[in-house]
Structure 1
Amino acid sequence: MAKETKDFSAISGLPDELGIDDDLSKVGQVLSIRRDTRRYGKPMTIVSGFEMDRAEMKALASELKRRLACGGTVLDDEIELQGNHVERARDILDELGYQVA
């Protein structure tokens, strides 16, 4: 199921060059981060609550994996990261402009 991106520049009346769509779409979604345990007791960090298309989620997952130096994937509209990175992922997402509950 593809999620559509919203056109906030039409609402705000600001030019597209300012990139207001990206900033407002980040603020409009509240993400949640939780720790889960997988096979053999391995910790996983799950980030959910995204309202973006899969390509954007994959790009964000790549950025998180790079900055956290871990593996991970995008499954069922969630980003799964290998290891317990709840606090560090929260800090990175805050830095990138996302709201984290």
Structure 2
Amino acid sequence: MEKEHKDFTSISGLPDELGIDADLSKVGQTLTIRKDTRRYGKPMTIVSGFEMDRADMKELASELKRRLACGGTILDDEIELQGNHVERARDILEELGYRVA
């Protein structure tokens, strides 16, 4: 079953070109970032709390991996990044308009 998409433009009456849907959907969710330790003591940065579809998560994961120069993946609605990037990931996500707890 597909997640219900919120259409903020129809509520606000503003034109689609302004991109208000994307901005409001970012502000409406609170992400959490934590560090985890995996096999052989390797650190992983886990970003969770997303309320978006898989394609948008994939695009965001690609942006984070590019800007942090690391590998990563999406598992169980979380973005996993190789290495300890908690502070830098927080800064990037806030710069992109997300609220991070």
Please give the root-mean-square deviation of Cα atoms over the aligned residues, in Å. 0.9
Q: Which amino acid aligns with 2:8?
A: F
Given that 1:2 and 1:54 are in contact with CA atoms closer than 8 Å, whether structure 2 keeps it comes out as no
Which runs of structure 2 are paired with 1:1-101 in the superposition (5 Å)? 2-101=2-101
Q: Give CA-to-partner distance per residue, 1:27-67, whole Å, 9 cap, x none.
A: 00000000000000000000000000000000000000000
The unaligned stretches of length 5 or more in structure 2 are none
TM-score, normalization: structure 1? 0.97
Matched residue count: 101
Q: Percent identity?
A: 87
Q: Look up the SS of the partner of 1:94 in the other structure.
A: helix
Which aligned runs of 4 or more in structure 1 are off by greater than 6 angstroms? none
Q: Look up the SS of the partner of 1:3 in the other structure.
A: coil
1:4 and 1:70 map into 2 onto residues whose CA distance is 32
The unaligned stretches of length 5 or more in structure 1 are none
1:26 and 1:54 map into 2 onto residues whose CA distance is 15
TM-score, normalization: structure 2? 0.97
1:4 and 1:24 map into 2 onto residues whose CA distance is 15
Q: Which amino acid aligns with 2:27?
A: V
